[in-house]
Structure 1
Amino acid sequence: MLEVSNLHAYYGKSHILQGVDLHVAGGEVVSLIGRNGVGRSTTVKAIMGEVPPRGSVKFKGREIGGLPSYRIARLGIGYVPEHRDIFPELTVRQNLMLGMKDAKREGRWTIQGSLDMFPNLAARADAPAGVLSGGEKQMLTMCRTMMGDPDLVMIDEPTEGLAPLIVRQVGELIAEIARRGVAILLVEQKLSIALDISHRVYVMGHGRIVFEGTPADLKANDSVRREWLEV
């Protein structure tokens, strides 16, 4: 479904991504893990067109590298950024409505279905989204993205700074997204979540992929974990 080959990206003269290769199959959950600053977020931004990519990015066999973000989204890629952008003065319900691509066609996700999954959001459905806690904003951001009914969603650091209870809820939502047949590329710092829900994992270091395998493969590879993951 998603094929990334020899992907490079720059911030000014800084060469951040240095030939990244990865792929995500339909219905697959793939995690991109590594220490902070190695290029994980830049990878998903380059795929989504928020950072100019050099190399090949194909989605469903079509080259999308260099397309504007709105066109990439229309093709069926959802993106949940790490900064949890919501419209604070709009209600929770209105934020969800903004994620819909076609109000006349019901996809795998509905406003009521999203509210039913999270009673806290349902209780504030008609309140300004700005009153939500950090964890509730994360839930809203993810649900709003899913309202567009993407075939693949990229989720960047969804559990960063959240309490353990909310972390568990985020993990459950990601698992539910996968159960509905949506492919997932997850950027995650917490190994416990990434290894629990992923079919495959990539480890990134210094702007390139240094390991690819199953969660079991990574658990068995002490040298990779020591060199590229452990603090």
Structure 2
Amino acid sequence: MLEIKGLSINYGGIEAVRDISFVVPSGQIVTLVGANGAGKSSTLRSIIGLVKAKSGSIKLAGKELMGSSTDEIVRNGITLVPEGRHVFPDQTVLENLKIGAYLRKGNLDEDIEKVYSIFPRLKERSWQAAGTLSGGEQQMLAVGRALMANPKLIMMDEPSLGLAPIIVNEIFEIIKRVNEVGTTVLLVEQNANMALHVADKAYVIENGRITIEGTGKELLKDERVKKAYLGTTA
């Protein structure tokens, strides 16, 4: 379980995240929903060690990770699929996957095959340059690369951003599939409707604070969420 307590993040004197606390139970999908600039991505970047928090606690399975390096956080079982995918375009699909396991030693063949079992399309394109893949395929590769670190928890930052609606549906099926094979998921997503449909637990972040929380189903029915994020009050 990931436990965040009293997390605050400042950028140049501006408080981007303000004393937020939430939990991500093992084996579940948890989503952070909110508008642009609400503090969602800053929260993920702080958890993975890319942004230094002003205060708070970040614990995975009871171990404090606040102040640890990104490499150490990855070794402890957390990976991030960044917004915009950021695959290595000139490297092949297979090379990108191996980069995801850069902290590990030993034979990676079994883990590569596990990724291919989740994403058969990546196996078909294993020797293709990542930059020539479609947006949806690059998102699969970014997720597969993160899985190569054998994480307990995978964080995904806006995985549907910029993708066609039919591909968005496929991406959310992938999120469910990753969770079903045993990986806990923390999801940041502007597509609140899709995110809440797959989430076991959800939190709404507004202006750096958590304002609403509940199960995904509960928030889908919440009038405040419907009005602000789902475009309906029906």
Q: TM-score range by the shorter chain?
A: over 0.9
C-alpha RMSD of the superposition: 1.9
1:158 matched to 2:159? The reply is yes
Following TM superposition, by how much is the alpha carbon of 1:172 offset from its aligned partner in structure 2, in angstroms?
1.4
> What is the CA–CA distance in structure 2 between the aligned matches of 1:45 and 1:102, rounded to whole Å?
22
TM-score (structure 1 length as normaliser) = 0.92
Q: 1:116/1:219 Cα in 2 relative to 1: closer, same or farther (>3 Å)?
A: closer
Kept in 2: contact 1:79–1:154 (CA 8 A): yes
- Residue of structure 2 in register with 1:48 after alignment: 48
Kept in 1: contact 2:94–2:127 (CA 8 A): yes
Following TM superposition, by how much is the alpha carbon of 1:195 offset from its aligned partner in structure 2, in angstroms?
1.6
Kept in 1: contact 2:32–2:204 (CA 8 A): yes
> What is the CA–CA distance in structure 2 between the aligned matches of 1:102 and 1:207, rounded to whole Å?
35
Unaligned runs of 5+ in 2: none
- Residue of structure 1 in register with 2:133 after alignment: 132
Q: Secondary structure at the match of 1:161?
A: coil
Following TM superposition, by how much is the alpha carbon of 1:114 offset from its aligned partner in structure 2, in angstroms?
2.7
Kept in 1: contact 2:193–2:220 (CA 8 A): no
- Residue of structure 2 in register with 1:67 after alignment: 68
Matched letter for residue 81 of structure 2? V
- Residue of structure 1 in register with 2:104 after alignment: 102
Identical residues among aligned pairs (%):
39
Kept in 1: contact 2:118–2:177 (CA 8 A): no
Render the CA deviation track for 1:87-139: whole Å, top value 9, x for unaligned: 112111111111124353669x7323433444443332112212112221111
> What is the CA–CA distance in structure 1 between the aligned matches of 2:9 and 2:113, rounded to whole Å?
39
Following TM superposition, by how much is the alpha carbon of 1:203 offset from its aligned partner in structure 2, in angstroms?
0.4
Q: Secondary structure at the match of 1:172?
A: helix
Matched letter for residue 96 of structure 1? L
Kept in 2: contact 1:115–1:125 (CA 8 A): no
Deviates more, 1:95-104 or 1:138-147: 95-104
> What is the CA–CA distance in structure 1 between the aligned matches of 2:205 and 2:180, rounded to whole Å?
26
Kept in 2: contact 1:3–1:24 (CA 8 A): yes
> What is the CA–CA distance in structure 2 between the aligned matches of 1:14 and 1:230, rounded to whole Å?
29
1:169 matched to 2:178? The reply is no
Matched letter for residue 171 of structure 1? F
TM-score (structure 2 length as normaliser) = 0.91
- Residue of structure 2 in register with 1:14 after alignment: 14
1:220 matched to 2:230? The reply is no
Following TM superposition, by how much is the alpha carbon of 1:43 offset from its aligned partner in structure 2, in angstroms?
0.7
Deviates more, 1:96-105 or 1:200-209: 96-105
Matched letter for residue 11 of structure 1? Y
Deviates more, 1:45-54 or 1:109-118: 109-118
Kept in 2: contact 1:79–1:145 (CA 8 A): yes
> What is the CA–CA distance in structure 1 between the aligned matches of 2:189 and 2:41, rounded to whole Å?
10
Following TM superposition, by how much is the alpha carbon of 1:206 offset from its aligned partner in structure 2, in angstroms?
0.5
Render the CA deviation track for 1:47-103: whole Å, top value 9, x for unaligned: 111111121111111111111111100100011110211111211111111112435
Q: Secondary structure at the match of 1:229?
A: helix
Deviates more, 1:113-122 or 1:38-47: 113-122
Unaligned runs of 5+ in 1: none
Q: Secondary structure at the match of 1:94?
A: helix
Following TM superposition, by how much is the alpha carbon of 1:229 offset from its aligned partner in structure 2, in angstroms?
2.6
> What is the CA–CA distance in structure 1 between the aligned matches of 2:97 and 2:122, rounded to whole Å?
11
1:114 matched to 2:122? The reply is no
Following TM superposition, by how much is the alpha carbon of 1:161 offset from its aligned partner in structure 2, in angstroms?
0.7
- Residue of structure 1 in register with 2:146 after alignment: 145
